[in-house]
Structure 1
Amino acid sequence: MSIPLLISILSGAVAITVSIIGAWFANRNSIILQTRKLKEEHYVAFLEALHNLASDNQSTKYGKEYTYARDKLLLIASEDVIKMMILFEAEVRDQNNLHDECLTELIKSIRKDLRLRDKSFPIVGLRK
């Protein structure tokens, strides 16, 4: 086997390997970005439903929207977000004074899951 033929075969093998690895990384990054976008959409829908429910907690429509948004979060949210959501709901149900702190922790865990950085996130609360 001649040296130019060997170099051509090696070059072809390297080119194929590089293209396979590049395609794998591109697909992986695409899936990560799509998942992040889906999470963001579900988080925004959840916060909208929470806002609507807080502004009119007697509305069955808003209650259903909140339940639906919450159920979708159970599929896509991180474990930390789900724990904070359950803690927040328990504080609201028990009408404790920790409501705003729990909402703040829920929002912070959502932001962390979306890879947003916070240095000193303020205490937030629902306002009518």
Structure 2
Amino acid sequence: MTLRFLSGFAAVTLAVAGLAAPAAMAKPMSGAGAVKMIDTDNDGTVDLKEVQAVASATFDRLEKDSDGTLDRKELKGRLSAAGLKQADPDNDGTIDKKEYLAAVAERFKAADPDNDGTLDAKELNSKAGKALLALIK
């Protein structure tokens, strides 16, 4: 169990630093595993600030051409065509970091049915929670 946690923690740490191999991040993440990796204040839940810190690092890692935006190719399936259109209010076919973080916030809110401002493992295992995790993996 400890080895699995350390391996998962190392994968997220490397991902945040932009060093993880894509295959390592392609593994499905459980809600409990996500909480362990994202929960910097160790309260057993994740809040929007913690999620957006990881999402910001994910955006930076995905943004390969240094134009300040993510296009469909750079997003690597994290958003469907409809999701990209919804996250792209200026309709330029790309999303900048502000738009990406807004999409993350929207998915966070959808995954928080009790509106307490935090997500636990059960909420992250829901369909909405998994959609959120897809953006930050």
Asked if Structure 1 and Structure 2 have the same fold, meaning a TM-score greater than 0.5 normalized by the shorter chain, the answer is no
TM-score, structure 2 length as denominator? 0.28
What's the TM-score once normalised by structure 1's chain length?
0.29
Q: Which has the higher contact order (CA 8 A, sep 6+)?
A: 2
- Structure having the larger proportion of residues in helix: 1
Which entry has the higher C-alpha Rg, 1 or 2?
1
